[in-house]
Structure 1
Amino acid sequence: MTADLARPATPTRLPLRPELEGIEPYGAPQLDVPHALNVNENPYAPSEQVVADVAAAVADATRGLNRYPDRDFLGLRTDLATYLEAESGVRLTPEQLWAANGSNEIMLHVLQAFGGPGRTALSFAPTYSMYPEYARDTSTAWVTGRREEDFSLDPRHARATIEQHAPSVVLLASPNNPTGTALPASTVLEVLDAAAHVPGGCVVVVDEAYGEFRRAGTPSALELLADHPHLAVSRTMSKAFGLAGARVGYLAAAPALVDALRVVRLPYHLSAVTQAVARAALAHSAELMAQVGSLRDERDALVTWLRARGLVVADSDANFVLFGTFDDRRAIWQGLLEHGVLIREVGPAGWLRVSVGTPEQTAAFKDALVEVAGL
């Protein structure tokens, strides 16, 4: 080959999809600070007994890594069904559960199966900023309705929006991110009824990534599964279980809906190591859930403290609090960062979101906010 043929005359242009041009990858800031309260992690690391049991399970899985993992992971799905019955009182079969590498991959499976060119996914803003990216990545049209000033969802508006756009997928976060707002069962039922009348069918996904943190009396959409085959409820082990680094998300739905996800998943998508870690953690669910109660108490106390200082705070059923409003929220965010406290600049203009941390982390946040905002 001659030198002229080996070297293009002009730089080669990559055939990137037009809708991806100029887009930055998703991700919250990852900064080395004393108090990272920006991505809704569980601040408590697993106990030494959990660490030991996970390590033993991983060691056992490692002995078989020359073989592909269990493709349908019925053992893990059985354990998840057992956990959900204890947590929510809803009895499910393993065939009604699905798992993947974080709830992000779960949502991608849903859009791969039920979205696509010529189809629409719908949600109600403000809500989780990854939803439109799932739609974009699967060439699904994306539309949003609105939430009310208190971030609740008007059932009449929800119905009208569904009737107008005829989506094939509706995504409802409950508790909602970034607001922390949970949906009453009556609102979910209104959405389910509207979706049932969409020509061609419509799947409703209730994203309960923060479901374990809901306040007493706040229902789980799991209770509605038996009567609604077009409903799916997604959960994650990242938050309540404190396993954000393990990347385990899961979904509960009718077996036919789960089978549709099995069609689009990559072969052997859930590694043997991931399955081992998840099952070992689920065996300690009672211990891990005990931490959830303390985080709920810390959240509620933080809401009270913020309101007592004249700030507007959204009711929260999650492990974070959305508060405001500030004329220059960026300045508040930057000031907190200079005090070693990292929170999230997200949501409607003027609002900020802080994750619930340990009492020591929360105290550091309070002290910094008082100084920076002059409360």
Structure 2
Amino acid sequence: MTADLDRPSLPLRAELAGLEPYGAPQLDVPHLLNVNENPYAPSAEVVADIAHDVALAAAGLNRYPDRDFTALRADLAAYLHVESGVELAPEQVWAANGSNEIMLHLLQAFGGPGRTALSFAPTYSMYPEYARDTSTRWVAGRRAEDFAVDPQQAAATIAAEAPSVVLLASPNNPTGTALPTATLEVLLDAAARVPGGCVVVVDEAYGEFRRAGTRSALDLLAAHPHLVVTRTMSKAFGLAGARVGYLAASTEVVDALRVVRLPYHLSAVTQAVARAALRHAPELMAQVGSLRVERDATVTWLREQGLTVAESDANFVLFGVFDDRHAIWQGLLDRGVLIREVGPEGWLRVSIGTPEDMTAFKDALVEVAGL
């Protein structure tokens, strides 16, 4: 008998058989423009403050951290008040290890067997995976040609599918499209009529990059207790390596998440890093302003080359349309520029980097695409 025959089989869930884990390419190239990171590392002053606070936290690592991270929640509420003008109690804020874990908490609490999660494609590729991992039925409606969500059509889909969770990225990933307040209000009204209740989650991972005049969904929280607005410190704060995501919602929503979260899920070190960074929010938001300018310039340049470009309120731009987008992607990579092959067929997405990054991207694209 062979060793393989002696090896016992694993009781893997049937829906996971043969699947590959999520992951964008992580390659060592000069210009990393594929996963929407902030290209600017924290300043020496920010690094020093983080290191100081982490050292203080390290002295108490023999004890469990504050299970409900009350100080961090207060700091996040204060930040959102400055950033969006919305007053929140700390009890209305929740945090986790990246907005990915925030989403998983939401699906654990409000999804599950016999329930449905709904979104509108193309959108963030992890949403159906959150649904799969929580045994939640997944339904994806369609966006319009310009990647907008048609409010009446979407409301009809909500009525027909009766989801317990609606996931709406705004700005949307990978398209960069923001959700107008009027559209969101229509969807919130439709969700309020779903039998048994429906939570509407607006994923504002790129919210700080929105253009002037684009409102945050935070403005609607007070009037809609079934609304959840999620954010992250990975993008605007340049803390992708720290893994800190958070949300604002009613206290009832937050209390439901406290039931499903693992004990002490947010380490003392993570809490210390996040609080130190929040003290430097004005400095970090100044970088956001320069990235907005670079994004808008990139959109203009791409259109001047005759390419189709989606409107973007994020720190990335979706552009195309190419007969062989993989060849374009590979050609850029061969020249040291890594972007993302994602979204509808023929489209590519470039994250906004430093001016040097964007010059390298433009030069490579002209050469590869023959613009």
Q: TM-score, normalised by structure 1?
A: 0.98
Give per-residue Cα distances to partners, 1:285-319, cap 9 Å, x unaligned. 00000000000000000000000000000000000
2:249 match: 253
* 2:146 aligned partner, one-letter code: D
2:349 match: 353
2:112 match: 116
User: Which of 178, 187, 193 is residue 191 of structure 1 equivalent to?
Assistant: 187
User: Which of 173, 178, 185 is residue 182 of structure 1 equivalent to?
Assistant: 178
After TM superposition, the runs of 4+ consecutive aligned structure 1 residues lying more than 3 A away are 7-10
1:90 partnered with 2:86:
yes
1:136 partnered with 2:132:
yes
Structure 2: gaps (5+ residues): none
Separation in 2 of the partners of 1:312 and 1:284? Answer: 37
Structure 1: gaps (5+ residues): none
Q: 1:9, CA displacement in angstroms?
A: 4.8
Q: 1:11, CA displacement in angstroms?
A: 2.7
Q: 1:12, CA displacement in angstroms?
A: 1.3
Give per-residue Cα distances to partners, 1:17-66, cap 9 Å, x unaligned. 00000000001000000101000000000000000000000000000000
1:364 partnered with 2:360:
yes
1:39 match: 35
1:318 match: 314
Give per-residue Cα distances to partners, 1:72-116, cap 9 Å, x unaligned. 011000000000000000000000000000000000000000000
Separation in 2 of the partners of 1:106 and 1:9? Answer: 41
Q: For residues 321-332 of structure 1, what are the structure 2 equivalents within 5 Å?
A: 321-332=317-328
Separation in 2 of the partners of 1:9 and 1:352? Answer: 45
Q: For residues 1-375 of structure 1, what are the structure 2 equivalents within 5 Å?
A: 9-375=5-371
Q: 1:10, CA displacement in angstroms?
A: 3.5
Separation in 2 of the partners of 1:31 and 1:46? Answer: 22
Overall identity of the aligned pairs, in %: 80
SS class of match (1:142)? strand
SS class of match (1:360)? helix
SS class of match (2:94)? strand
* 1:118 aligned partner, one-letter code: G
SS class of match (1:244)? coil
* 1:284 aligned partner, one-letter code: H
SS class of match (2:168)? strand
* 1:199 aligned partner, one-letter code: P
Give per-residue Cα distances to partners, 1:319-345, cap 9 Å, x unaligned. 000000000000000000000000000
SS class of match (1:321)? strand
Separation in 1 of the partners of 2:311 and 2:264? Answer: 40
* 2:293 aligned partner, one-letter code: D
Aligned residues: 370
Give per-residue Cα distances to partners, 1:91-142, cap 9 Å, x unaligned. 0000000000000000000000000000000000000000000000000000
Separation in 2 of the partners of 1:268 and 1:296? Answer: 36
CA RMSD in angstroms comes to: 0.9
* 1:322 aligned partner, one-letter code: L
Q: 1:8, CA displacement in angstroms?
A: 8.3
Give per-residue Cα distances to partners, 1:199-226, cap 9 Å, x unaligned. 0000000000000000000000000000
